[in-house]
């Protein structure tokens, strides 16, 4: 693995100061992380955890966000139903709430369906919200929580997101838990600080990590067309997995899938998929195009070749 400066000529590094983490994290762990990210180019990157989740499957999610009409979604579902997808990939799509029923009723069972958000508890007098129970009732298996657009536009904080995740998991819904730094946070060397703080908010409250997929999405790469290089993404994924090993357990670090999101498309997915700690993708705009989304799903073949 080359030096960070080789991968990120625009940035000075991922950390400039020690992170504000709980006392259980020792200085030796931080030194270990920093040393891992500065390995000489002659040394092959390695780690003592498996590249994939306990299920052994790559994971690709499509976040349709606030896009689509009945007609366009009918066409998209038709394209997905006819697509030839590699079998050893978990595939999930997340339509807007108003189209969930249409999608669950017409989409092949090969692809699971996710909500884009859920409430912190049972439903009731919460105008505009959607409950976990409602998502399950309509056939959803997953929910996306902590997406940067919820954090930075809507104003959801780490603790609120953590409580949402805990409730969803307790009720039997899988969680795609999003983390990631703003551009100014990366430029200030705070990438790890931010991601670890967001992870800790999940770790403090979730009952189990069995049904959690972590999605690392650098905010500066979401919808901007500016994708993190494979090496930049891999650096953070390694650090996230090591954080799980140190702060949760070695088993959780090994089994938890860590996927990448941020302007992933049919052209860049293969190179990203080759990275050892990238266990799949959370896809935005490209997931609205059935053939391109299928290409991204099938990039698992690059993972097999790389292995």
Cα–Cα dist 151/160, whole Å: 10
What pLDDT was estimated at residue 43? 39
Q: How confident is the model at residue 48 (pLDDT cuts 50, 70, 90)?
A: very low
What pLDDT was estimated at residue 65? 97
Q: How confident is the model at residue 304 (pLDDT cuts 50, 70, 90)?
A: confident
Beta partners for residue 216, in sequence order: 179, 260
Class of the 56-304 domain? alpha beta
SS3 call for 231? helix
Cα–Cα dist 218/191, whole Å: 9
pLDDT in tens, 32-46: 444 444 333 333 444
What pLDDT was estimated at residue 91? 98
> Is position 10 annotated as part of the catalytic site?
no
pLDDT in tens, 52-84: 533 468 999 999 999 999 999 999 999 999 999
pLDDT in tens, 142-198: 999 999 999 999 999 999 999 999 999 999 999 999 999 999 999 999 999 999 999
Contact 141/92 with Cβ under 8 angstroms?
A: yes
Work out the burial of residue 291: count CB atoms within 10 Å of its CB; fewer than 13 is exposed, 13-18 middle, 19 or more buried: exposed
Mean pLDDT of the 124-144 span: 97
Q: How confident is the model at residue 21 (pLDDT cuts 50, 70, 90)?
A: very low
What pLDDT was estimated at residue 223? 80
The residue from 147, 181, 237, 276 that is catalytic is 147
SS3 call for 142? strand
SS3 call for 300? helix
SS3 call for 52? coil
Contact 23/30 with Cβ under 8 angstroms?
A: no
The residue from 217, 235, 276, 292 that is catalytic is 217
> Between these two residues, 3 and 17, which has the higher pLDDT value?
17
> Between these two residues, 146 and 223, which has the higher pLDDT value?
146
Q: What is the pTM of this model?
A: 0.83
Tokens of 175: 């969680």
Q: How confident is the model at residue 12 (pLDDT cuts 50, 70, 90)?
A: very low
Q: What average pLDDT does the structure give for the chain?
A: 86
The answer, yes or no, to whether residue 9 has pLDDT greater than 50, is no
* Integer angstrom CA distances of residue 18 from 14, 162, 190, 191, 237: 11, 24, 9, 11, 19
Cα–Cα dist 145/213, whole Å: 10
Cα–Cα dist 175/275, whole Å: 23
What pLDDT was estimated at residue 172? 97
pLDDT in tens, 226-245: 878 999 999 999 999 999 99
DSSP state of 285: G
> Is position 292 annotated as part of the catalytic site?
no
DSSP string, 180-211: ---HHHHHTTBHHHHHHHHHHHHHTT-S-STT
What pLDDT was estimated at residue 5? 31
Q: How confident is the model at residue 23 (pLDDT cuts 50, 70, 90)?
A: very low
Cβ neighbours, 10 Å, residue 248 = 16
Q: What are the structural domain ranges in the chain?
A: 56-304
The answer, yes or no, to whether residue 114 has pLDDT greater than 70, is yes
Look at residues 285, 303, 305, 271 and name the one whose alpha carbon lies nearest to residue 58. 303
């Amino acid at each position: 693995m080359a030096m960070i400066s080789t991968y990120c000529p625009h940035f000075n590094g991922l950390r400039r100061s020690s992170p504000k983490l709980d006392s259980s994290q020792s200085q030796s762990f931080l030194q270990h992380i920093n040393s891992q990210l500065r390995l000489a180019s002659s040394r092959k990157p390695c780690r003592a955890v498996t590249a994939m989740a306990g299920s052994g499957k790559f994971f690709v999610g499509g976040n349709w966000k606030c896009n689509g009409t009945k007609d366009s979604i009918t066409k998209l579902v038709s394209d997905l139903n006819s697509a030839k997808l590699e079998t050893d990939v978990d595939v999930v799509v997340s339509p807007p709430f108003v189209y969930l029923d249409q999608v669950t009723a017409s989409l092949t069972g090969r692809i699971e369906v996710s909500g884009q958000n859920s409430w912190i508890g049972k439903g009731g007098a919460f105008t505009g919200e959607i409950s976990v129970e409602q998502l399950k009732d309509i056939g959803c298996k997953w929910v996306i929580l902590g997406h940067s657009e919820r954090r930075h536009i809507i104003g959801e904080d780490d603790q609120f997101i953590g409580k949402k995740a805990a409730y969803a998991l307790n009720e039997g819904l899988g969680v795609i838990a999003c983390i990631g730094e703003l551009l100014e946070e990366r430029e200030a060397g705070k990438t790890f600080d931010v991601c670890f703080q967001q992870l800790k908010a999940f770790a403090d409250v979730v009952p189990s990590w069995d049904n959690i997929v972590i999605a690392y999405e650098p905010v500066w790469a979401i919808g901007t067309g500016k994708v993190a290089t494979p090496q930049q993404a891999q650096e953070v994924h390694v650090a996230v997995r090591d954080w799980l090993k140190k702060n949760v357990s070695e088993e959780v670090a090994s089994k938890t899938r860590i996927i990448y999101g941020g302007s992933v498309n049919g052209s860049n997915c293969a190179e990203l998929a080759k990275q050892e700690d990238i266990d799949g993708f959370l896809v935005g705009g490209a997931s609205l195009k059935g053939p391109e989304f299928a290409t991204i799903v099938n990039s698992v073949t690059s993972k097999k070749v790389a292995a």
